Structure 1
């Protein structure tokens, strides 16, 4: 199947899913498309087991898609850039220490806790999962998803400081989580040694270098946009910034996710407020919201298709359910310790720990990183577990965050 044919099939299925969600479910697009993708996958699996459908035909379609290249070197740049455009740097600066500590120390702590718990659980159930691959699962599932978070948090009417803390952490822990994952993956596949010096240098190079690169390219684009007033050219420049910052960082062995987030933050603040007309702001915002919705829908559909090719889905289901417990436990610990430590000097509203824990939704990045794992039964195990955790996160946590928020935060506070 050619690339055009593959994309055509995916777009058609996504459009049909969006239509069904709008007509029948009326759920937020991210949740609705995931629900439809899940139901479609389960129906196909059921029909395959009953012999009514030759499921191998669908499973053969999946290997024709290069998931790692399509998602990690395609979708992710646009998803992160779209999320960064909507974050106000002034609001982010007010909670800078919370965001910085949660997205760095919190992500590292979460990786270790989840990886250790998942490794212990897998061995208790009889799975011979290497500890380093359990850490890889911890690294890919620890980052929270800024796109899913932003949509659901705004719909729930969260207070501005809480919204900024959650979305700011989600944007930056994506980049940190990707760096941690790639560092561990290099060790697991033998591309680099497990020395502390090697990992530390890789972390510094990817993090600091990517921030500088993203800022430089964002500033250059901002200067270009200031000299014109043409929304078509300005939108084109924003696309070039998104793709160029990610691709250049990747070519320089830096972190594409961090570079594109910083570039998006700079353009979304300096560019929108100081260089664009009201008309351009409206068109640019609408364009990136549409890109965000389409790619999120495609991503969840791709994950559903990938699960069709897993031969031992039933066997991995129990471990996937345990994975939910491991992830929630890791999230509680990685939020509780930093917040309690900072509470001596920073004032946090009532319910912050509970809301940060339950509002830490998993999504695009976790799926993207899971596709980078080498082929084999370990990949299938981690991929299936990731799918189950993301499903629970979006469908259960996403739908119940609003009621939890209204229970913990007074209505007058929400309106503010």
Structure 2
């Protein structure tokens, strides 16, 4: 027993060392070839994975892999929440809410219909594929927009949508999976589950976020951890995620809302000592970089070459339908009714284009593969193709399009 525990600990350290080293090397390569770093991280994972060098095999590290993916996604969502200005979000809340729910349903339906035709899949499995890749990825969008000087309203709308739509994508996926496994589908119950998941995660994130800052506020008598903001925030991120999941709510929603408290301290009249605040910022930036490396390198090790190559043409048709049909229709259906947001057509075009896929869809696809769901190999391959195409094709051109549309200046 003791030897098994020691071996497990050694495996975790081996995995972390390999992944971080590979991440550093491929970050330098990314800077040289001018491609998004996450694309190079996925390439690193493919090289290190079981299909090539076999230095990292997830079958050997199942618990460690899940720990990194879950904590990494949670912390990156917390970082995304910190970027949100509540005053600006209030102006576009209808657009964000519609894109995060109705938009996901529209994308699921359109992509599912196309997948049914090109892969000859049963309708429920085709819709399952659509729901897996319908949500967007804050772990890509947050770092991307930190480097860009686009409209604050546009930036925060896209980041907020990417955080909120994870819950919708997951609920639709699990509802369809229940039907496939022999359950009965109820639209009312599914919508109730979605609303409960979002509101529950919001409530827990807000509560823990408020308590965290109360305990670190230098002007409050309760601020007993004012010199340990970094440590307490780390505990709060883990706690928000685990407590929400325990009650069946969205853990990712909870950590995102908690991050919003951190990013809007002045609105809530919280004051953290400057030294503690700067220490937390430095720690957060380093940890976020490491987690992004680890997440996308591990995702690259999952890729099934044989299935992807065998269905490459059909896969690209589905990805094309998502980018050029489903996303534009979703955006038009969701933002044109929001008169308060005062969207311009240039901003709407930009919303149509920026919808990178990443961590959450990959995690859902991995879950389906692990569970042995029929056609999960096709779903997994399409998911990874979507990740690669959106990260190389869309993320790398986001800045160019913003400049072309003259959206890269102003607030």
TM-score clears 0.5: yes
RMSD: 2.9
| Cα distance, 1:261–1:187 mapped onto 2, change above 3 Å | farther
- Work out the CA distance in 2 between the residues paired with 1:376 and 1:208: 30
Matched, 1:398 2:395: yes
How far is the alpha carbon of 1:346 from its aligned partner? 4.3
Mean Cα deviation higher: 347-356 or 238-247: 347-356
Matched, 1:305 2:301: yes
Q: Is the 8 A contact 2:30 2:36 kept in 1?
A: no
How far is the alpha carbon of 1:291 from its aligned partner? 2.2
Q: Is the 8 A contact 1:75 1:295 kept in 2?
A: yes
How far is the alpha carbon of 1:334 from its aligned partner? 0.5
Which residues of 2 match residues 134-145 of structure 1 at below 5 A?
A: 134-145=126-137
- Work out the CA distance in 2 between the residues paired with 1:98 and 1:399: 25
Count of residue correspondences:
397
Report SS of the residue matched to 2:58: helix
Q: Give TM-score, length-normalised by structure 2.
A: 0.86
C-alpha distance after superposition, 1:235-291 (max 9, x if no partner): 121112111111111111122122222222123323896231222222222222222
Which residues of 2 match residues 240-389 of structure 1 at below 5 A?
A: 240-270=235-265, 274-307=270-303, 311-328=306-323, 329-343=325-339, 346-373=341-368, 374-375=371-372, 378-389=375-386
Query: 1:52 — aligned with what?
Result: none
Among 82, 89, 93, the alignment partner of 2:90 is 93
Q: Is the 8 A contact 1:10 1:298 kept in 2?
A: no
- Work out the CA distance in 2 between the residues paired with 1:392 and 1:246: 30
| Cα distance, 1:22–1:36 mapped onto 2, change above 3 Å | closer
Query: 1:25 — aligned with what?
Result: 30
| Cα distance, 1:256–1:184 mapped onto 2, change above 3 Å | farther
| Cα distance, 1:301–1:60 mapped onto 2, change above 3 Å | closer
Which residues of 2 match residues 214-225 of structure 1 at below 5 A?
A: 214-225=205-216
- Work out the CA distance in 2 between the residues paired with 1:230 and 1:212: 23
- Work out the CA distance in 1 between the residues paired with 2:74 and 2:314: 31
Query: 2:185 — aligned with what?
Result: 194
How far is the alpha carbon of 1:12 from its aligned partner? 2.7
Mean Cα deviation higher: 246-255 or 205-214: 205-214
- Work out the CA distance in 2 between the residues paired with 1:170 and 1:23: 28
- Work out the CA distance in 2 between the residues paired with 1:247 and 1:355: 35
Matched, 1:407 2:400: no
| Cα distance, 1:292–1:40 mapped onto 2, change above 3 Å | closer
Report SS of the residue matched to 1:254: coil
| Cα distance, 1:285–1:186 mapped onto 2, change above 3 Å | farther
C-alpha distance after superposition, 1:106-164 (max 9, x if no partner): 122122222222222211xxxxx332222222222111112211222232321112112
Q: Is the 8 A contact 2:365 2:379 kept in 1?
A: yes
How far is the alpha carbon of 1:39 from its aligned partner? 5.9
| Cα distance, 1:278–1:186 mapped onto 2, change above 3 Å | farther
Q: Is the 8 A contact 1:175 1:255 kept in 2?
A: yes
| Cα distance, 1:16–1:326 mapped onto 2, change above 3 Å | same
Q: Is the 8 A contact 1:141 1:366 kept in 2?
A: yes
Detail structure 1 runs of 4+ shifted over 4 Å in the superposition. 27-30, 42-45, 229-232
- Work out the CA distance in 1 between the residues paired with 2:312 and 2:407: 39
- Work out the CA distance in 1 between the residues paired with 2:99 and 2:253: 16
Structure 1 residue runs of 5 or longer lacking an equivalent are 49-54, 124-128
- Work out the CA distance in 2 between the residues paired with 1:14 and 1:72: 13
- Work out the CA distance in 1 between the residues paired with 2:130 and 2:71: 23
C-alpha distance after superposition, 1:86-124 (max 9, x if no partner): 22212211222221221122122122222222222211x
C-alpha distance after superposition, 1:355-394 (max 9, x if no partner): 1122111111111221111225622211111111111111
Report SS of the residue matched to 1:276: coil
| Cα distance, 1:365–1:273 mapped onto 2, change above 3 Å | farther
| Cα distance, 1:28–1:367 mapped onto 2, change above 3 Å | farther
